[in-house]
Structures are given as C-alpha cells and as structure tokens.
Amino acid sequence: MSFRFVDLFAGIGGFHGALGALGGECVYASEIDKAAARIYLRNWGIEPEGDITLAANDTTMNVPDHDVLVGGFPCQPFSKSGKQKGMEEARGTLFWNIAKIIEIRKPKIVILENVRNIAGPRHAHEWEVIIQTLRELGYRVSSKPFVVSPHRIHPSFGGRPQVRERVFIAATRLNRTTGKLHEEPQLPSREQFEANWDSKKWKLAKDLPLDPMTAKEKASLKLSEAEIEWLDAWNEFLQIYRGNNAGKNPPGFPIWVDDWIHTKNLKIPRGTPKWKENFLRKNSELYSANKKVLDAWLKKYNNLSHFPPSRRKFEWQAQDAKTIADTILHFRPSGIRAKKATYVPALVAITQTSIIGKHKRRISVREAARLQGFPDWFDFLDQREAMSYKQLGNAVNIGAVYNVIKSLVIRDIDLLSKYPELTKAILGAPNSPDNQLMEFKSHSYKERTNSTTIFQPRLVDL
C-alpha cells in the first residue's frame, strides 16, 4: 500500500471504502457501536477499537503512525466561558481526542466530516475552536465550510442520486514557520467533480439502479393497505386540483386539510407565528377557490378522519410529474412529501425511507447502500433491516470522501509533493471509486464461504 490511514468514528466504513479505493491501507479503526463494528469487521477485515477516549489521551496513545486521519466525528458543545479558543478549550470533548492524535502522530492529511449545521450560526463557537485548534497544530485549513453532496457529483466521478450536504474539514500539515499558520487558504475546488453535471438529470431507476424485488423483499418493503389508501387519496386530490385549475400543478406550500376553512371565516389567533399565519392564509385561499370539488373529495374519504394527522398534510414538490406514481415519496412527521423521481433526500432512518411511487414500496437496504456508494458485495450479515438502514443513515458517502481528498491534494500539492507515494496514489487513482470497490476484496471478504451472496445490480423501470 502507498499510504496508511486511521479511520475514527468509523461506522460501517464509508471512509474506509474511499481511502481503500485510493490505495490506502487502514492501520487503525475506532467505532464504539458494536453492531456497526461487526459490519465493519465483516467487510473490511479490521476489528475497530471501541472507546477512542481510552486509546488517545494525555497518558495513552494506542493509535499507530499514519499518513491520513479521517473521521465523521460527533460534535459536543465547547465551553464558551474560557479565554482559550483552541485545543485546551476542546478538552473533554471527542474532538480533543482527535486533536491529541494529530498532535502526536502528525498525519500529513486530516479529513473530518460533519452535518451541514456544524458551520451554522448555532455552532459558530465550536467551528471556531476546531479551525483554531487545527491551525495551532500546524495545518493549512480554510475557515469556510467545504460542503459536498453526492447528488451534485458527476456520475463518472462516483456521484449518487442522494441529496446529502455534509461539511468536510480538509487540512494539510504545513511543516512551515508559525507565521503561515493563520493564513486563510482557498477551499479545495469542487469544479473537477461537479462540472458538466445537472443534478436534475438523475434517473433513480437506472442510475442507482433499482432492483426487481424477490417475494420476501416485496413482503418487507411493500406499503401497508393504510399507506396505499393515503397515497391513492392524495393522487386523486392531485387530479381533481388540476382538473379544476386548467391543468396547473398544485402549489408547493404544505397543504393542511385540518386547516381548510373559507377565507370569510378565517380567523388567525393572536400570537400565531408569521410563517404559520402565511400557511393558514394560503390553505384558506386554496380551499375557497376549489371548495366544491374539494368538499366532494373530502366526503368520499370521510374528511380523512381515519388518516393520522400527519397524513392529512401533503407537500407537492414534483412540479409537472403526472401522478404520484411518477414520484419519490416520504412519510414525514410534517406530512407526505412528493418529489420527482430524480434523486432522494438524505438517508436517515427506516421511518422516513424513500418510497418508490410506481412500485408502492420502500427502497431496499441494498439500494440504500448504493446511495452511499457501498459496493454490491457489502454484507450486512443477519442483522435486522432497521439496523442496516440506521447504519447507512449514519454513514459517510464514499464518492464524496473520495473526491474531497483528491481535491485537497490538488490544492496542497506544494506541501505534499515531498510525499510522492501518497500523492501518486491519490492523484493517479481513477476519477471514480466504483470500479476499484467492485474489484476490492478485503482479507475478510476473501475468506467468506461460497454460500455468501454477491449482489449484482439489475435494472428495473421506474
């Protein structure tokens, strides 16, 4: 292998997949969740250590030497009371343990990943501490968030039809005088892997792809009779609305049946938030303009009284899609949302797993794994599907990591050119990690029994 990496807060191994495809060798992994660690071991052949706070602290450093440190770290609040804004203020948080590893092992590259809000106003202090700490430790790092989502990445660079905006903190060791530590560098460029791609061109059926279902899968993924009734009712609403409005699409604001009242009877309670007042007025106007046909629709479905409250809410974001069968759907706490069948929202959990409108089923674990860039040989063993969905919802997208690290090396080639094996491996790797992952078989994978199923993608029409 041309470089060594450590994988912190490793989950089921999204970072491992990306760096392995770049030619790296994992020399250490940590993951405190035993179920995720079990899947990591099965697929990557390395058993993660548990609590990182026991492996890296003031008295212990069990993390070996390495060239690249990666991790999707949890972010706890840092104290705002002290004057320190760097490493000492991070003490007591998991980021401090990462910083200790960086301080002692001095990796050439550090890639950290977190949710979009880590760089938002609510976490401005934490963000400042993280950037300040990395600079104190001797790293070139931008104070601006490097936001990457797989749906914006060109398919030939490992993109996937999933909106998943994540912030990457990409840092390179300076080995220069301290006078350079606080210079503000440009962010790594997204141009190479986002150029000439329109995310609206994704076609979920062929680009994921979707699989035809076995009888067992159909039974576990199909919608219930109640869920089908909800969709049938709202599909009928869609056709009624268009029929009464010269073919126009329904409005994009949330439609709240429980708040349908004629405008002449509308009374907004004092103290109602402006956003809610706006939606109440819009729903009143919608109902008043279509009262006759909507009353008939409501009567047919008993005013939706047997629907849960959240299923009496509907949000049409599918523009000119003809029917609900042409959409991707989500049963959200805030209502049913319909989007065009291009790309899906970020994976979160089984309760909000994307629903394929045409097939009236949820996406499978295998399809969810593809959305995160995991190869089709990736094995979830015998664990419950709900656990696999959860792990995938917590995973980092492989294609996003792969392109982030390549872009960082391009930006900092002046610092990294002294490490030819590292730079040659990363910059010489193909545009996409997909082929390497399909060919890559870890030690664990090679030893699997012949009974292990190797999944192969099969196309199906949406």
Q: What pLDDT digit, counting tens, does each position of 118-140 carry?
A: 888 888 888 988 999 999 999 99
pTM metric for this prediction: 0.88
Of 412, 448, 433, 454, nearest to 18 by C-alpha is 433
> Catalytic positions, please?
75
> Domain check: are 140 and 77 in the same one?
yes
pLDDT, tens digit, 9 for 90 and up, residues 189-244: 999 999 999 999 999 989 999 988 888 888 889 999 999 999 999 999 999 999 99
Query: How many CA within 13 A on the CB side of residue 98?
Result: 26
Helix axes 420-427, 398-411, angle to 10 degrees: 130
> Domain check: are 50 and 171 in the same one?
yes
Low-confidence ranges of the chain (pLDDT < 70): 1, 76-92, 176-182, 349-352, 441-462
> Domain check: are 105 and 237 in the same one?
no
What pLDDT score was predicted for residue 452? 39
What pLDDT score was predicted for residue 117? 85
> Domain check: are 21 and 151 in the same one?
yes
CA dihedral defined by 16, 22, 28, 29, rounded to 10 degrees? -10
Number of separate domains in the chain? 2
Three-state DSSP class for 195?
Answer: coil
What pLDDT score was predicted for residue 92? 65
Range of the domain at 257: 212-363
Is position 377 within any domain? no
Is position 457 within any domain? no
> Domain check: are 402 and 300 in the same one?
no
What pLDDT score was predicted for residue 90? 65
Is position 138 within any domain? yes
What pLDDT score was predicted for residue 455? 33
What CATH number corresponds to the domain at position 38? 3.40.50.150
> Domain check: are 92 and 171 in the same one?
yes
Which positions ≥6 away from 9 have C-beta within 8 Å? Answer: 30, 31, 52, 71, 72, 73, 74, 94
> Domain check: are 235 and 110 in the same one?
no
> Domain check: are 217 and 278 in the same one?
yes
Of 208, 160, 114, 147, nearest to 398 by C-alpha is 160
> Domain check: are 156 and 282 in the same one?
no
Other CB atoms within 10 Å distance of the CB of residue 63: 25
Three-state DSSP class for 93?
Answer: coil
Is position 346 within any domain? yes
